[in-house]
Copies of this chain bind each other. A is one copy, B any other.
Amino acid sequence: MQTLDAIQRRLGYRFRRVRLLEQALSHPSAVPNSPFERYEFLGDAVLDAVVAILLFKRHPDRNEAYLTNLKSAYVTRSMLEAVAARLRLTETCVCGQTTSVRPDDLLEAVIGAIFLDGGWKHAGAFICRHILSRRARPLVDHKTLLYTAARRRYGTDPQYTVARVTGPHHIRTFHVEARIPGLRRVGRGADSTRKAAELRAARDLLRKLPSRSGGRNRGTKKTVL
């Protein structure tokens, strides 16, 4: 592990109780009783709240749907992975030799530790500096759009199936197909999580629906945003 001093410089936060930082960087695969996952649980909730509050203040004229979609973009796995990579968290983490710790989990554990050490003020400052300073576009929830379209037009629910999973365990790719029962068209999407792949498949199927839906979906999208 690099010196805790160097890590704190990168984080832009100096711990009063540096033990908390050590714990947040100690994965249970190497340190069995580490509170890593408890810190991750805490960090996840703190992150969500800070992002929600800041977006609420930053966009006084936007509606709830816009705020929800923009918040999703900021707490999405790929965003957190990018931030964790920039902070080089993975190389500072102590974990078992055969384990690869998810960078987004590490970032959440670090946020949990900062919150325990410095409260809302410092956790908020950290999240603003490293996450909310980035540019993000509202994530449209294509699964919800497809669900609405399928129920309204076909009176049924879309179905998602994992067609196949490729790659080794820690960098798996899920290939998902979305279908509306009774309709021959298939939407396809692939991503590192099943949920993200489902969203892509839903978006793909929405594009392939007959034109009435195409127009309506573009309309819905604008309304949502």
Contacts and interface: CB of A to CB of B under 8 A. Distances in A.
Interface string A197-214: 000000000000000000
A104 interface: no
Contacts of A45: 48-49, 51-53, 71
Most chain B CB within a 10 A radius of its CB, from A63, A64, A159: A64
A120 interface: yes
Interface in A54-88: 56, 62-64, 67-68, 71
A117 to B, nearest CB: 14
A190 to B, nearest CB: 16
* 10 nearest CB pairs, A to B: A45-B52, A49-B49, A37-B64, A41-B64, A45-B49, A42-B56, A41-B67, A45-B48, A157-B162, A38-B64
* Count of chain copies: 2
Nearest to A120: B120
A46 interface: yes
A40 B64 contact: yes
A131 B86 CA distance: 39
B37 A42 contact: no
A161 interface: yes
A87 to B, nearest CB: 22
Contacts of A56: 38, 41-42
Contacts of A67: 38, 41
Contact of A53 (B42, B53, B63): B42
A62 B44 CA distance: 17
Interface in A146-199: 157, 159, 161-162
Most chain B CB within a 10 A radius of its CB, from A44, A49, A52, A68: A49
A161 B120 CA distance: 42
Interface in A14-48: 37-38, 40-42, 44-46, 48
